[in-house]
Structure 1
Amino acid sequence: MTSQWNNNFGQQPPPVPPGRDSFKNNRRGRTSTILAVSIAVVAVAVIVGVLTITWFSQKHTPGGAADDSSSASHDATSDADASKAGGTADDGHYPDKGSYRLKQVASDLCMSWGPEKGNKQREVTVFADCAKATPKLTWTPQSKREFVVTMAFAKPAWTACLTADPPATKPGYLFGAKDCTKGAPLQTLVLTAEGSGEYILQVKSTKMCLGPLEQEAKRGMAFSTEKCSDADKALRFTLE
């Protein structure tokens, strides 16, 4: 046929187009390639999903424990900030060791040192303007709520402890100063937080509270033991 074509036209015959079988083979090849790519994509997606679930389960415990932990951390931080701010009865804040003036809430007068009313031969703790209050009072905790108060006198130089006059079992016993004796029952005060940085102070051994003699908080009036009462505003003090 080629010879006849050459004889008739003097050229090579055109190439024969691919048959149906060749077309089918190419189509199968493309289909196989697409299927393989699809399977690979699905496999990658499954792997990513498994890794994501594993990571999430490690970061978050069941029942919202992670959120609870975060909340607890926030609450602890808030409590610490409240303590620094002065504290309340609810947060149970009590002062650290340090020097503080003892100021009565009702009168804004502070604990100082001066002659006993009607007995100038003796000096005791009395009420005075806070700016003039002496000596310096240093509060040393014996436990969370129990404190010993030292008083640093200049003339003569003497460091003593705030002490209730014995036996301090009834109202009217004054508060003076004596040499510090570790564990002395009348030298330990128990503080009770009443909120807003206010405290009631109680003599540990007798359960009597510190307050103004004869319920009169005025300049020169002595501090004395009084019956404890949360409702008695004259018994509330701040440490400043």
Structure 2
Amino acid sequence: MGADRLQGKTALVTGGSRGIGRAIARRLGRDGATVAVGYARDAVAAEEVVAGIRADGGRAFALPAALGRHGDAVALWEAFDARIGEYAPAGGVDIIVNNAGIGRSSDLAGLTEEEFDEVFAVNVRAPFFIVKHGLERLRDGGRIINISSGLARLAMPEIMAYGATKGALDTFSLNLAQQLGPRGITVNSVAPGIIDTDLNAEFLGDPEARAWAASVAALGRVGAPEDIADIVAFIASDDARWMTGRVVDATGGSRL
């Protein structure tokens, strides 16, 4: 893709300060989009992402976006509105990437109601209301990209609540695609497998665990954040204009 593929577009990436979100924000910035880098707690990391995008010649700003509480989506969009005019006087947004999420949960025996509520609040409720309150800002022909997981289709009982949130997110994508199609807005899920991020650093630091994770994928290696970011960049571009309501498998062919 060319550096100007998303020129004139504005993107919001939640959870953009680390891991997959960081790679997505950097890639969309390189493709020409102005990127709002959402973060929950680590403002320093978010500003590092912003600095990296700017160093590549792009435009970006950090956006505080703590999720999981009632009113979080309204607060996010209020913060967005307060900053976007500095970069795009017309305001609005073209690409919403719902990436932020809690990556793990306890097994059925250990799962508490509080943990269940928290993982669903961040992984499902937040994207739902980010879209609900963002629709008045999302331009026709826009993109909504929800970061799901291969665990929406693969059994892993030890973190089943997490997997259930991603299944719900895929259903959300499907219904949004139907509802927003008349506006030319596409909605898709991207479902990564095991990705080499700081979240998985301890697990993948064990050579045996890394070897197992690589063996699960048909392509024979552990995924990198950039593998997911490049897929997201394609979906965000006009090249993917005729694809909506889909779950894009980004697991490297895990457990085929």
TM bracket, shorter-chain basis? under 0.3
Tell which structure's C-alpha radius of gyration is larger.
1
Task: Tell me which of the two structures has the higher relative contact order, counting C-alpha pairs closer than 8 angstroms and 6 or more residues apart.
Answer: 2
TM-score, L = length of structure 2: 0.20
Higher strand share: 1
Higher helix share: 2
TM-score, L = length of structure 1: 0.21
